[in-house]
A and B are shown apart, each in its own frame.
Chain A
Amino acid sequence: MENARRTQSVLTARRAGLVGCTTCGRVHARQAVTCRRCGSRLASRDTGSLQRVWAWLFAGMIAYIPANLYPMLVTSTFGKTQQNTIVGGVIELFDHGSWGVALIVFVASVLIPIGKFIAIAYLAVSARSAVVIRGHGRQHLYEVVEFIGRWSMIDVFVVAILAALVQLDFVATVHPGIAAASFALSVAFTMISAQNFDPRLLWDAYEADDT
């Protein structure tokens, strides 16, 4: 591991008059614009970061509303048509007695998206204002949010598989509902929002503290 060795006192790239590349970790002189090693764009602090985070976050929240109001799955069995929203699907699974799966779906499509909205908003607010949790806590929160966001896509894939598989003409057919599309959009938007967040902003208040 390249970063296993640790130095005793912390020297940030910015205080050393350098700028670090977020993709490959190489440091450059302040005025460098692109990284010589990997070619990504360099910026000591991404100044437009918070603006983009908020924009994508609101887009994600807006797309999440129709995702819960409209049906996710349209099932017809022997001529009877039944429409299921996200929460409806969870309740149905719960009634069948498959608590484990109901829990997975509930966590992936309700808890994680809402938790992500709150977490991203909190990080974006706290990057500006006084430190509430110290850097480590917030950095962990950021990493968890970034890692877990993609798992919300589960529900979209479940719908895709069900709709592909259950096509038995009269006996049973499953069609995807419009909520699947807006849910996928919501997940994608919040993923972009989390990626736009510059975690270095979290450490600036911390750094100012110990000088």
Chain B
Amino acid sequence: MTRIVMLAATAAVLMIAAIFFPFLELQVGGLSRKSSVFDAITAFSASGMLPLSIAVAALIVVLPFARLVAIAYALGPMALGWHPAPQAARAFRWAEATRPWAMAEIFIVGVAVALVKITGLAKVTPGPAFWAFAALVLVTVLKDSFMCRLTVWKTLEERSRS
């Protein structure tokens, strides 16, 4: 359980780095352009598809981040051996329900496809945020595979009763 909380915290820090550092750099001749994850989110709103922009933001940044916070909140006190925090069950249930909607790892595969699409056109260099995001995906996958949901529920119930 300590391991899960630590991984969640790691992922949250990586997420912050991934959003604000430049993600990819594109160079054609003398022109170059840096873009961050944030630019990818706003790309749709420039073409008048603001709702899609909001949806993409929710799927790749807001939801994964909120899930990490919820899991750390629900499991953190238990990892330290304390009573579960109030509403811990609700936080964990919410994190479980939103799991299919957190699409950070799909975004990374999307990036890979996009890179192949434009390599013919221009030179692309991945920035620090790209590596942060890739690490974030790895950490999230590790965290999800360490976590046994039924055990977490059982412990939550036992600890809050005593």
Contact = CB atoms under 8 A, between A and B. Distances in A.
Contacts of A98: 116
A166 B118 contact: yes
B153 A26 contact: yes
B151 interface: yes
Interface in A144-197: 146, 149-151, 153-169, 171-172, 175-176, 178, 180-181, 184, 188, 191, 195
Nearest to A175: B47
Interface string A102-128: 001100000000000000000000000
Contacts of B28: 168, 171-172
A33 interface: no
B92 to A, nearest CB: 7
Q: Secondary structure of the A side of the interface? A: helix
Contacts of B24: 161, 165
Q: Secondary structure of the B side of the interface? A: helix
Interface in B44-72: 44, 46-47, 49, 51-52, 55-56, 59-60
A106 to B, nearest CB: 11
Interface residues of A, number: 49
A99 B39 CA distance: 29
Task: Give the one of A158, A167, A172, A175 with max B CB within 10 A.
Answer: A158
Given A157-B40, A161-B43, 8 more contacts: A1-B151, A2-B148, A25-B150, A39-B93, A158-B113, A159-B43, A178-B49, A195-B100
